[in-house]
Structure 1
Amino acid sequence: MQLDSYLEIFTTMYGWAFANIIGEALTGTGLVVLPFMVMAFNAWRQAKEQGAEQIGVFGLVDSIGTQLIVGLFVFMTCFATSPLTSLHSINLRYQPPPTALEPNPPEVSRDSGTGSTYDAALVDAIDGSMSNVSGSLAHVPAWWMTVLAISSGMNHSIKAGLNASQSELRAVEELARIATIEDPRLLHNIQRFYSECFVPAQSRFIQMDPADLTAAGRAIIATTNTEYGPDDTGWMGSQLFRTEPGFYSDMRSVNPVTGFAVDFGRDVDYYNPSSGEPLPFEGFANPDWGRPTCREWWEDTRIGLREAMITHSSDWQALWGRARTLFSSEDRTKDELARLAQVKANPMFVDPTQALGDRWYQNARISDPAGIADGVARTAGGVLSNVGLGIVSLLSYITSGPLKNGLLMMQALILMGMYMFLPLVTFFSGYNLKVMLYGAIGVFTVKFWGALWAITVWVDAHLIRAMYPVGSFTLTDIFGSAMQGHKRMLLNLLMLGMFIGLPLLWTGMMAWIGININASLTDIVKGADGTARNITSSSAGRGRR
């Protein structure tokens, strides 16, 4: 039997375990026969009120017999349990939906384990150790087992019929939200590049006349350029800074960068032993690493900063793999991920001559303890900035992610309560035939919420595809851009409205259907009773004549 969540596997077991405990209490105290006694008494009371001469002895016996047969049928199908209809005779299964981190999740089940923390915490729901009552706690009355099978089968069929229900953009958004940069070395390098390359390049761009740019440079920042545009110069990997002469290609890091070997053709301010010139002073030594150009530092495919930003952890590698299908080229994808990484790192400008523990003055390294204090201050500022970003991100996401999981958990707990109370409802109804209909409608209605949520996910995937066509957005648009915030807000409101509104609409419709069916059944029963009484009265009258 296919269920809708990890928790539902266990709440189904718990619900029917509680139901069996309640049923055992009713049976053990003898209260279970009370509704049959009430049926016989009511039939006798009605006969006395109408007069025995109108109904007759045979009519009274027929009335009592009919009510007892109907009550016994309801008792056997809705209250009494049997090993033939046990939850242990079937395997409760759940197919997790694909996520960004797990695009092809394996199916889990009660018998093989779900691989979740529920396995250990709720094990007594499976082995029956939660109670010492006689009999199995997993037995289910035949009618309710049929209702469960039909409801679960309907949900599974609807979900299986929805192709391409997972939005690739939603998956990327999910990964983008949980992605963090925890490597202190990488954070340090991002901070350095921001201060030593980006800020000087941006300052130079602001101070220069746009007419001095090449034609290609002007085309990059033109308002008609949908791939880059005027905001291209607002981040570290600016296409203009990387390709325009006088910017990254001609600018070098202020201090040596680990991983980049000394190149005397580039590092002309280093001492070249092969030049034949004497040392600047006794004991002089070149740095261990060279000072690359900003373009080399950014674009190197082996040790470049951009490559490190997008592949430094498994989460970022997964994000890289999923985002490649959303953009027009591999270079564009790398830029988008690096831009997102910059937002996550949130670097601030620090004077390059003060930012490092080792200052680089006139080709010499001089130990500077003041750099430690600078590093502490920079780290503290970064922490505060990241806390602020985290709060904003949480406020924008808490209405969607937790709500979806919370609704599934709420559904599982509601179903557990319904299963638990079904024996009591059947008992207090006097084994009324209507309880079969109402109970079936109630269980089917709540179970069908899972199918409605699957439809919601499918609709959301198509809406987000329409609002964010491939290649027309950036990762920061869907993650943190204020300009695109209205789109995200609209999508989230629509999704949340469907997640809550569709089940409410469906439940209201089913309640209306149940009320109308009840009225129809009542009219039918009254009509049948009237006909039976007329026939009985006529027969009694002929008998007296």
Structure 2
Amino acid sequence: MTFNVDSYLEYFLTLLGWIINNGLFGLLASTGLFIAPLIGVLIKTWLEVKKQGADEGNKGELLIDWLGIQFFPAMLVIVITLAPMLPISLNNMAYNVEQSKHCGYKVPLAPEKTGYASMVSEFADKQAKVPLLWGLVHAINKGILHGAVSTIPCKPDLRQIRFEVQHEKINNPALLTEVRQFVQQCYLPARRKVLDSQVAMNAAQAREVSWLGGKILVNNSELYPRYRAMQPMQRWAYEPNRDQGLPNTGEGGFPHCDEWWADSQVGLKDMLLSDMRQNLSVKLGELFTDANIQDEALLRTLLRPENINISRGKAYEGYGGSLDSTLTNNVSSVVSALGITAGSLAAYPGFDAMRNALPMIQALLIMAVIILTPMVIIFSGYSLKAIV
């Protein structure tokens, strides 16, 4: 018989549980404690027989009949729930990966090729045996579980993806500094120009100018193309025609803001995406039908003011809100940011930790039940009700 498990920890704790279970049952059997409930049944039945009147006939036959009714179920319980029968070891345990293969996910390594390799060598020569009923229960349990899991569509874990993306930060200090420079030298002047023009915008246009990479800001000749970097950028060569009047220090050129943001491979947009993607452990591509939509969603999340904090306040004022640096606006921004941060710090990490901890808790509980089974059964007086 093959015993299937669903996590590395369960792989070892199940075997450890049955090794301890067999040892504990052997201890109870060698000390004779497993007979104590049978003696209790004998005394109880004898007392019940003594309470019967003289009209009940031969008390000896009555005692034998009643003991048969009590002892036969107890013997059955001992045979199917306590007597070790089915061998279990690392050789006939299997880590279930069928659904992972079906959904196209990377199949986990065999336990002996992971950090659990030392445990593999420790348990390799040890074998336990599982009572008949619990072997059957294990098989039925895993069969129903795996059948139920197979009905779940092969979709990515949206909650995990949301958590990882929302908590992604700009990890490169130089890149974070460049983002702040871009905000001060490109985004804020362009956005102020849009607001000062008092041009009516619909919801889609307002959304486009609400973040650093808005198409209106990049493509409108009066916005990003009109402004430029105020310091030399090494990723762009100095061009006399473009950089006329600016010093050639040998440290790079002065790109216009649309180049600074959108240049292929060297633009700030591609630099941010590259930095972000190397830190994400999930595949996002299948969630989006359009790569541009995917890039915009990632960048919008990464460039939220909450993700670009400095020592006090935000890296820039007015991004996505009022440009007026008044006391009321500053207090409102700080209070809202604190509320959002406190809520997310309390909720999302807790959900993520709980989600990752539940399989470990399950494996520990399964081991605890396996270890306690002999004591529960024996001290229940081999009760069928306790078995159920």
Residue 129 of structure 2: aligned partner = 139
Tell me the equivalent position of 2:254. Answer: 291
Code of the aligned partner of 2:75: L
**Residues of 2 paired with 1:97 and 1:391: CA distance?**
37
* Per-residue deviation, 1:85: 3.8
Cα shift readout 1:481-529 (whole Å, capped 9, x = no counterpart)? xxxxxxxxxxxxxxxxxxxxxxxxxxxxxxxxxxxxxxxxxxxxxxxxx
Letter in 1 for 2:123: I
Pair 1:86–1:337, CA change in 2 (3 A): closer
1:150 corresponds to which residue?
Answer: 140
Q: Does the 8 Å contact 2:225/2:258 carry over to 1?
A: yes
Q: Post-superposition shift, 1:197? A: 0.9
Rounded to whole Å, the distance in 2 between the matches of 1:39 and 1:318 is 60
1:222 partner letter:
N
In the superposition, relative to structure 1, how do residues 338 and 86 fare at CA in structure 2: closer, same or farther (>3 Å)? Answer: closer
| Aligned partner of 1:395 among 330, 333, 346 | 346
The letter for the 2-side match of 1:142 is L
1:25 maps to what in 2?
Answer: 27
Query: CA 1:125 to 1:417, structure 2 compared with 1: closer, same or farther past 3 Å?
Result: farther
Aligned match of 2:331? none
Measured in 2, the distance between the counterparts of 1:96 and 1:125 equals 27
Q: Hey, what does 1:265 align to over in structure 2?
A: 241
Identity of paired residues, percent? 24
Deviations 1:419-461 (A, max 9, x none): 121101111122233333x2xxxxxxxxxxxxxxxxxxxxxxx
Q: How does 1:369-518 map to 2 (within 5 A)?
A: 393-436=344-387, 438=388
Please point out which of 233, 237, 251 is paired with 2:213: 237
- State how far apart, in whole Å, the 2-side matches of 1:203 and 1:15 are: 68
2:271 matched to 1:334?
Answer: no
1 CA distance for matches of 2:220 and 2:370?
70
1:178 deviates by: 4.6
8 Å CA contact 2:5, 2:93 repeated in 1: no
Q: 1:299·1:307 contact (CA, 8 Å) conserved in 2?
A: yes
- Which amino acid letter does the alignment assign opposite residue 93 of structure 1? Y
CA distance change for structure 1 residues 7 and 316 in 2, over 3 Å: closer, same or farther?
Answer: closer
Asked if the contact 1:20/1:137 (under 8 Å) is kept, the reply is no
Match of 1:477 in 2: none
Q: C-alpha separation between the residues in 1 aligned to 2:361 and 2:272?
A: 39
Structure 2 partner of 1:15: 17
Letter in 2 for 1:348: A
1:176 corresponds to? 165
- Aligned equivalents of 1:412, 1:70: Cα separation in 2: 31
The residue number in structure 1 matching 2:323 is none
Pairing 1:15-94 to 2, within 5 Å after superposition: 15-51=17-53, 54-56=56-58, 57-82=60-85, 84-88=86-90, 90-94=92-96
Name the amino acid aligned to 1:266: R
Equivalent residues of 1:197, 1:294 under 8 A apart: yes
**Cα 1:77/1:349, change in 2 over 3 Å:** closer
Aligned to 1:106: 107
1:277 corresponds to: none
Q: Give the whole-Å Cα distance in 2 for the aligned partners of 1:31 and 1:124.
A: 34
Give the direction of change, closer, same or farther, for the CA distance of 1:40–1:108 in structure 2 (3 Å limit). Answer: farther
Residue matched to 2:334? none
Given that 2:164 and 2:280 are in contact with CA atoms closer than 8 Å, whether structure 1 keeps it comes out as: no
CA contact (8 A) 2:182 2:229 kept: yes
Post-superposition, which runs of at least 4 consecutive aligned residues in structure 1 deviate over 6 A? 386-390
The one-letter code sitting in structure 2 at the alignment partner of 1:322 is L
| Root mean square deviation, CA, Å | 3.3
CA distance in 2: counterparts of 1:178 and 1:315, whole angstroms: 14
- Which residue of structure 1 aligns with residue 225 of structure 2? 249
Instruction: Supply the AA of the counterpart residue of 1:141.
Output: P
Q: Which residue of 1 aligns with 2:284?
A: 322
Q: What displacement does 1:156 show?
A: 0.9
**1:301 aligns to what SS in structure 2?**
coil
- Find the counterpart in structure 2 of residue 5 from structure 1: 7
Given the superposition, is the C-alpha separation of residues 37 and 239 from structure 1 closer, same or farther in structure 2, using an over 3 Å criterion?
same
Alignment of 1:190-209 (within 5 A): 190-209=179-198
Report the counterpart of residue 202 of structure 2 in structure 1: 222
Max radius of gyration: which structure?
1
CA distance in 1, matches of 2:341, 2:300: 17
Q: Secondary structure at the match of 1:398?
A: helix
Q: 1:81 to 1:324 in 2, by over 3 A?
A: closer
CA distance in 2, matches of 1:402, 1:171: 11
**TM-score between both structures, scaled by the size of structure 2:** 0.80
1:163–1:2 Cα change, 3 Å:
farther
Letter in 1 for 2:260: W
2:322 matched residue in structure 1: none
**For residue 150 of structure 2, what is the amino acid of its counterpart?**
A
Give me the whole-angstrom Cα distance separating, in 2, the residues matched to 1:79 and 1:119: 31
CA drift of 1:391 comes to: 5.4
Deviation at 1:408, TM superposition (A): 2.9
Unaligned ranges ≥5, structure 2: 318-336
2:271 corresponds to which of 280, 298, 308: 308
Q: TM-score, normalization: structure 1?
A: 0.58
Letter in 2 for 1:11: L
CA–CA separation in structure 2 for the residues paired with 1:298 and 1:413:
52
Mapped to 2, the partners of 1:291 and 1:65 lie a distance apart of 98
Q: Is the 8 A contact 1:19 1:419 kept in 2?
A: yes
